[in-house]
A = this chain, B = another copy of it.
Amino acid sequence: MYSIRPVNDLFLRACRNEPTERRPVWMMRQAGRYLAEYRAVRERVDFLTLCRTPELAVEVTLQPVRLVGVDAAILFADILLPLDAMGAGLRFAAGDGPVFDHPVRSLDDLARLGDPDVERDLGYVFAAMRLARRELAGAVPLIGFGGTPWTLAAYLVEGGASKNHGRLLSWSWEDPRGLARVLGRLADVSVRYLQGQVDAGAQAIQLFDTWGGLLDAQRFRELALPALLVVVEALRGKVPLIYYLNNGAHLLPELAGLPVEVLSVDWRLPLDAVRKVVGPDKVLQGNLDPTALLSSPARIAELTDALLREGEGGGHIVNLGHGILPQTPPDHARAFVAAAQRQAPAPAGAARQG
């Protein structure tokens, strides 16, 4: 069904900071609305049905590999699925984003949530993972993912998206120990969910911390980091781990010591500045401003060249600094991927190969 190219494991080698002929490239949210082929699938089914139907989830997972030429696939899913499996009652209201019928705003609310059997309640994700690996047949690696406990709590406590996260943050000040129990439960479910993804064939795991940047460094260490470390330590050494933090320039010094292979950073700081803060051992992923893909193919090529220069001096997986925007012309996404793949080996990369 899909043309099989020679095995491309650039992404996995780059995750492990091994020498590569060139740097791999993929895009966060690469299976998404900017592709007409994705929108065609979504016209047939709603978002959650798409997530829960392995054949369709795999179809959209593979679209960017086939249509855009990325060096890695990421399974189509949503970070909120395990919360639904816990009984929080996830719905997507048209235009309004996610809504939970049973938000958790007290330890009583937490007690009312169930303890999911991930094979039974999230088995559709693992089935999609197995099917995607089979369809990919080694063409490119397959990434699994989840939200960090803090970011999952941000949605679960608020009952959906929020502007100021008043309920979550209020709880964090009034009863940090109680909130730590919520985060502990989310870490426990996340470990089993992500281990299930690895068992089903995920070759790397990306942890999305959309809301970690709400916290200053001290509160990040106290509130968000303990549960994050539970997840990281449980998966460590099994597959490469990628940690994505949005809006966290002020937290970068904290991340140097996080035991993950790859730090995926947003577009706000140049990679060479990030590298100075986090040190040489971390592979960096990112970080073209996704709005740059709204410019022109020629400008995208220039900006990608500049990004490649900024990424020299250490391991680098080319990506955007945030998810690709729905209004991005597919040709512009292709221009980004092509520019990244056209690169000559970077001097630093050449040195590492020699």
Residues of A within 8 A of B (CB): 164-166, 169-170, 172-174, 213, 215-219, 247, 249-250, 267-270, 289, 291-292, 294-296, 299, 325, 327
Contacts of A219 in B (CB 8 A): 289
A270 CA to B216 CA, complexed, in Å: 8
A299 CA to B249 CA, complexed, in Å: 27
A158 CA to B283 CA, complexed, in Å: 36
Nearest residue in B to A274 (C-beta to C-beta)?
B250
A249 CA to B296 CA, complexed, in Å: 29
A2 CA to B174 CA, complexed, in Å: 35
- Which of the residues B174, B296, B327 comes within 8 Å of A294, measured between beta carbons? B174
**Are A174 and B325 in contact (CB-based, < 8 A)?**
no
Contacts of A291 in B (CB 8 A): 164-166, 169-170, 172-173
**Are B294 and A170 in contact (CB-based, < 8 A)?**
yes
**Are B166 and A325 in contact (CB-based, < 8 A)?**
yes
- Which of the residues B166, B169, B250, B289 comes within 8 Å of A268, measured between beta carbons? B250
Interface core residue of A267, A268, A327 (most chain B CB under 10 Å): A268
- Which of the residues B165, B174, B250, B292 comes within 8 Å of A249, measured between beta carbons? B250
Minimum distance in angstroms from A221 CB to a CB of chain B? 13
**A/B interface sample: 11 pairs, CB < 8 A:** A164-B291, A166-B325, A169-B289, A170-B327, A173-B291, A174-B294, A174-B296, A216-B268, A247-B247, A249-B249, A249-B250
A270 CA to B215 CA, complexed, in Å: 11
Given the known inter-chain contacts A325-B166, A327-B166, please indicate yes or no for A269 contacting B295, CB distance below 8 A. Answer: no
Minimum distance in angstroms from A101 CB to a CB of chain B? 20
**Are A166 and B294 in contact (CB-based, < 8 A)?**
yes
14 extra A-B contacts, CB within 8 A, seeds A170-B291, A173-B291, A216-B269: A164-B325, A165-B291, A166-B291, A166-B327, A169-B289, A169-B294, A170-B295, A173-B295, A173-B296, A213-B268, A216-B267, A216-B268, A216-B270, A250-B268
Nearest residue in B to A172 (C-beta to C-beta)?
B291
Contacts of A174 in B (CB 8 A): 294-296
A247 CA to B251 CA, complexed, in Å: 12
Closest 6 CB pairs of A and B: A173-B295, A169-B291, A170-B294, A249-B250, A249-B249, A250-B268
Contacts of A218 in B (CB 8 A): 270
A299 CA to B174 CA, complexed, in Å: 9
A269 CA to B213 CA, complexed, in Å: 11
A291 CA to B154 CA, complexed, in Å: 14
Minimum distance in angstroms from A290 CB to a CB of chain B? 8
